Amino acid sequence: MRTGHLRIALLLAAAACAPSHREVDNPLIEAATSMTMDIPRVEMTDSTTVLHVDLYGYPDMKVRLDSTSILKAGNETYAFKRAEGFTMNKWVKFPKTGLISFTMTFQPIPMKSKTMDFIESDDGFKLFGIDLTGKAKYPEYPAGLPDELRGGDSGGEVPGQVLKCGTSTVRVHLLGLREGMARTVNLHMQPLLGATESLSAEADAGTGTAEFSFMQYGTIKVSISALQDAGVYSHVWIEPGQTTDVYLDLGKTGRLLVERRAIEKGGEYQFFNYMCPAYTTGRYAALNYAYTHLQEEIRMEVRPETGISADDYAAMVEQAYAAAIDSVRHNSGMTELQKRYNEMLLDMELMQTAFSAPRMMAAAKAANGTEAEPEEITPEHIRRMLRPIGFDDMKYAIDGLNFIFSTKLCDPAWADKVQLAEDNFYREYDEAWQLFSDASSDRLTDEGRARLERFANPFFREACLTADAEIRAAAAAAEGRIRIEQTPDVDNDRLFDAIAERCAGKVVFVDFWNTWCTWCHVGFENFEPLKGGGLADKVVWLYIADESSPIAVYKKTIADLDGVHYRITEEQMEAIAEKLGFDGFPFYMIIGRDGTRDTRRGLEYPATAEKRLREELQK
Strand 165-175 relative to strand 243-249, pairing:
parallel
Q: How far apart are CA 412 and CA 404, in angstroms?
A: 10
> By the 8 A CB rule, do 123 and 16 touch?
no
List all residues 6 or more positions away from 380 whose beta carbon is below 8 Å from its beta carbon. none
Tell me how far apart the alpha carbons of residues 445 and 460 are, in angstroms, rounded to a whole number.
16
Q: Are strands 232-238 and 197-202 parallel, antiparallel or unpaired?
A: unpaired
2 pLDDT tier (thresholds 50, 70, 90): very low
Neighbours of 454 (CB within 10 A): 11
What is the Cα Rg of the chain in Å?
Answer: 30
pLDDT 10s digits, 106-135: 999 999 999 999 999 878 999 999 999 998
Cis bond upstream, residue 27 (ω within 30): no
Question: What pLDDT shows up at residue 371?
Answer: 58
pLDDT confidence bin for 210, thresholds 50/70/90: very high
Say which range, 227-236, 256-265, 463-472, 507-516, has the weakest mean pLDDT. 256-265
* Ranges of H-type helices in 280-335: 285-292, 310-329
Query: Cα(281)–Cα(273) distance, rounded to whole angstroms?
Result: 22
How far is the CA of 378 from the CAs of 25, 385, 408, 482, 511, in angstroms? 61, 11, 17, 55, 48
189 in Cβ contact with 240 (< 8 Å): no
Q: Are 125 and 70 in contact (CB under 8 A)?
A: no
pLDDT at 157: 87
Region 151-172 average pLDDT? 90
Please say whether the beta carbons of 188 and 221 come within 8 A: no
Mean of the per-residue pLDDT values for the chain? Answer: 90
Residue 536 has pLDDT above 50, yes or no: yes
Residue 449, pLDDT above cutoff 70 = yes
Element (H, E) at 166: strand 165-175
- Collapsing DSSP to helix, strand or coil, 126 comes out as strand
Q: How many residues are given for the chain?
A: 619
> Mean of the pLDDT values across residues 511-529?
91
Share of the chain above pLDDT 90, in %: 69
Predicted pLDDT of residue 303: 83
Decide: 361 and 314 in contact? Cβ < 8 Å.
Answer: no
**Distance (Å, whole) CA 127 – CA 116:** 9
Q: Which of 90-94, 363-367, 445-449 has the lowest mean pLDDT?
A: 363-367
CA 220 from chain centre, in angstroms, equals: 16
Section 26-36 average pLDDT: 94
Model pLDDT, residue 9? 46
Among the four given CATH numbers 3.40.630, 3.30.70, 2.60.40, 2.130.10, the one describing domain 147-292: 2.60.40
Question: What does the pLDDT read at residue 372?
Answer: 56
- According to the model, what pLDDT value does residue 156 have? 80
Residue 436 pLDDT greater than 60, yes or no? yes
pLDDT at 4 over 60: no
Q: Residue 268 pLDDT more than 60? A: no
Say which DSSP state 17 is in.
Answer: H
Domains 147-292 and 482-617 share a fold: no
Does 80 score more than 90 pLDDT? Answer: yes
Decide if 86 contacts 102 (C-beta within 8 A).
Answer: yes
Q: What secondary structure letter does DSSP report for 600? A: -
* CATH architecture for segment(s) 482-617: 3-Layer(aba) Sandwich (3.40)
SS3 of residue 582 by DSSP = coil
487/561 Cα distance (integer angstroms): 19
Determine the 3-state secondary structure of 236 from DSSP.
strand
Query: In a 3-state reduction of DSSP, which class is residue 28?
Result: coil
Q: What is the CATH number of domain 17-131?
A: 2.60.40
**Residues 506, 610, 513, 497: what is their CA dihedral angle, to the nearest 10 degrees?**
30
Q: Is residue 7 predicted with pLDDT exceeding 60?
A: no
CA atoms of 416 and 19, how far apart (whole Å):
78
Return d(Cα 160, Cα 406) in angstroms, integer: 19
Range with the lowest mean pLDDT among 36-50, 199-213, 368-382, 427-441? 368-382
pLDDT of amino acid 571: 96
Where in the chain are the domains?
A: 17-131, 147-292, 310-475, 482-617
**Mean pLDDT, range 507-526, rounded to an integer:** 92
Q: What is the average pLDDT across 547-557? A: 91
Read off the amino acid at residue 521: H
